[in-house]
A and B are shown apart, each in its own frame.
Chain A
Amino acid sequence: MKKTTVTFLMLLFAMQLVAQPQTSTLSDSLYASDKIYVVVACIVLILLALLFFLFTIEKRLKKIEKKS
């Protein structure tokens, strides 16, 4: 399991290196002002919060399942 995880993480790392900056409309308009990152930060926060919420539900469920 560990091996798969490590391999996967390494793959992600390689993917980041592949993505070279090129001129597109987004990089011209939004990157120029550096504000697309604000949107990304908000969305990642929302996603992380929802995922965290899912994990807590899972934890509570496990507790109840153990009891019954």
Chain B
Amino acid sequence: MYKSWWKILGAVLVVYSTVWGFLSTVPELPIIRESIRNLYFHVPMWFSMIVLFSVSVFHSIKFLRTNNPADDIKAVESINAGVIFGLLGIVTGAIWAKFTWGQAWSFDVKQNFAAISLLLYFAYLILRNAIDEEQSRAKISAIYNIFAFPIMVVLLFVLPRLSDSLHPGNGGNPGFNAYDLDSRMRMVFYPACLGWILIGYWIYTILYRVRTLEKNNALSS
């Protein structure tokens, strides 16, 4: 958490993927055209969100085992960071959809379920604020979090595949990697994902450390 090499790596990867996201050549496809470059920016947001939510579940389980309040703070702050990435993902998705699918919100299954899974996590944050007693708040929200995570995974990766979706890779609609995510795009896409995940994790550690300091200050004053 305190070492800086992976923060620098994340920064380098994000800058690299942004530069090459604009300058690299991409396959020429109808309708999507140059907006295929959004793949380097929109998709890593969701991947970062999922990684941050997984971190959160890990700490929620740890909290139930240890009852250590630090684990509870870790769980909340990783959700706080993850929700920001999720919101960015949904907004960038709407912008992209406006220019390729014709409407910002076309009630595509995956769009809807992404919105619902974000609401799940808003509910988590609101649930926490509704409980005053610290121990029971931590315990109840940890259990909620553990149940919310698999539901989020099902909503984002299972259900959209069972019905027609405009998203690539769902409902018989081949994914990018089927034919058009060629090796040139992978050279940018994978570093972009890793870079944004690292930056997301970094933001979470900063949030966690600020919260810990605030708590310590409140205790000592």
Contact = CB atoms under 8 A, between A and B. Distances in A.
Contacts of A22: 25
A62 B3 CA distance: 11
B25 A24 contact: yes
A10 interface: no
A24 to B, nearest CB: 6
Interface in A34-48: 36, 39-40, 43-44, 47-48
Contact of A65 (B22, B24, B26, B213): B213
B108 to A, nearest CB: 26
Interface in B1-57: 2, 4-5, 7, 9, 11, 14-16, 18-20, 22-26, 28, 33-34
Interface of B is mostly: helix
A68 B82 CA distance: 28
Given A24-B25, A36-B22, A68-B217, A58 B184 contact: no
Place the interface of chain B in its size category.
20 to 34
Given A18-B187, A21-B25, A25-B28, A58 B20 contact: no
A68 B221 CA distance: 12
A40 B19 CA distance: 6
Interface of B: 2, 4-5, 7, 9, 11, 14-16, 18-20, 22-26, 28, 33-34, 183-184, 187, 199, 202-203, 206, 209-210, 213, 216-217, 220
Contacts of A44: 15, 18-19
Interface string A20-61: 111011110000000010011001100110010011011001
B16 A19 contact: no
Nearest to B216: A68
